[in-house]
Amino acid sequence: METFLSQYGLSLIENENKFRSIVTNKKINIGKTIIVSHPLISFPTLTCNKIRCDQCLKKKDHTLQTCSRCQNVYYCDRSCQKSSWVSHHKLLCPLYKKSTSTNNDEEMLKRVSNLIEKFLNNNNNNNNNNNNNENENNNYLFEIFLRLMTHRTEQSNDNLKYFEKISNDICENLNFNKITKDDLIDYLCIFYCNNFNLHDNQLFVYGEGTFPIGSLFNHSCRPNAIVMYDGAVQIIKCIEVINVGEEINISYIDVALNRMTRKKMLQEKYFFECQCSRCFSQERYSNIFSKIDQLIEEKDQETTRQDFNQTLENWVSLEQNESKFSKVTTLILSNLLSHLKNNTTDNDYLNSLSEIISILFQQNYSMTNLFYTSSLSFTTKLFYDKIDLQQWYQSTILGKYILSIYLIIYPRYHPMIGLHLFTLGKCYWNDITNGSKSIKESINILECAQKVLNITHNEGAENTDIINQIYSHTSISAPPLGP
Ligand X SMILES: C[S@@+](CC[C@H](N)C(=O)[O-])C[C@H]1O[C@@H](n2cnc3c(N)ncnc32)[C@H](O)[C@@H]1O
CB of 18 to ligand X, least distance (A): 4
Q: Any contact of residue 180 with ligand X (CB under 6 A)?
A: no
Print the binding letters for residues 447-466 with ligand X: x by CB under 6 A, - otherwise: --------------------
Task: Give min distance, CB of 406 to ligand X, in A.
Answer: 23
CB 238 within 8 A of CB 30: yes
Q: Which is nearer to ligand X, 262 or 412 (CB)?
A: 262
* Residue 19 interacting with ligand X (CB under 6 A): yes
- Answer yes or no: are the C-beta atoms of 379 and 335 closer than 8 Å: no
- Enumerate residues 135-154 that contact ligand X by CB under 6 A: 148-149, 151
- Cα separation, 46 vs 72, in Å, equals 11
Q: Which is nearer to ligand X, 146 or 205 (CB)?
A: 146
Of 317, 328, 309, 330, the residue nearest 381 (C-alpha)? 309
Q: How far is the CB of 418 from ligand X (least distance, A)?
A: 25
Cβ proximity of 405 and 424 under 8 Å:
no
430 sits in the region (left: phi over 0; alpha: psi -120 to 50; else beta) called alpha
Instruction: Give dist(CA 240, CA 243) in Å, integer.
Output: 10
Choices 13-21, 80-88, 305-313, 375-383; region in contact with ligand X by CB under 6 A = 13-21
Tell me how many residues contact ligand X (CB under 6 A). Answer: 20
Q: Is 193 in the site for ligand X (CB under 6 A)?
A: yes
- Which one, 19 or 204, has the nearer CB to ligand X? 19
Letters for 238-277 (x = contact with ligand X by CB under 6 A, - = none) are --------------------------------xxx-xxx-
204 lines the binding site for ligand X (CB under 6 A): no
**Dihedral angle computed from the Cα positions of residues 47, 52, 57 and 58, in that order, rounded to the nearest 10 degrees:** -140
Cβ distance to ligand X smaller for residue 290 or 463: 290
Considering the complex, state which of residue 212 and residue 399 has its C-beta at the smaller distance from ligand X: 212
Residue among 12 and 70 whose Cβ is closer to ligand X: 12
The CA angle 292-298-300, to the nearest 5 degrees, is 140
* Closest separation in Å from C-beta 63 to ligand X: 37
Binding of residue 227 to ligand X (CB under 6 A): no
- Cβ 196 to ligand X shortest distance, Å: 9
Give the residue, chosen from 24, 49, 167, 215, that forms a contact with ligand X under the rule CB under 6 A.
Answer: 215
Contact 149, 190 (CB under 8 A): yes
Q: Which of 88, 89, 111, 219 binds ligand X (CB under 6 A)?
A: 219
CB of 67 to ligand X, least distance (A): 32
In the complex, least distance from residue 407 CB atom to ligand X, rounded to whole angstroms: 24
* Residues 111, 114, 117: CA angle, nearest 5 degrees: 150
- Provide, rounded to whole angstroms, the least separation between the CB of residue 269 and ligand X: 8
Q: Please choose, out of 214-222, 286-294, 305-313, 315-323, the segment that lies near ligand X by the rule CB under 6 A.
A: 214-222
Closer residue to ligand X, CB minimum distance, 256 or 405? 256
Residue from 2, 13, 18, 390 that binds ligand X (CB under 6 A)? Answer: 18
The Cα–Cα gap between 435 and 423 comes to 18
Nearer to ligand X, 383 or 410 (CB): 410
Q: How many CB atoms lie within 10 A of CB 355?
A: 13
Interface residues with ligand X (CB under 6 A) are 17-20, 148-149, 151, 193-194, 215-216, 218-220, 270-272, 274-276
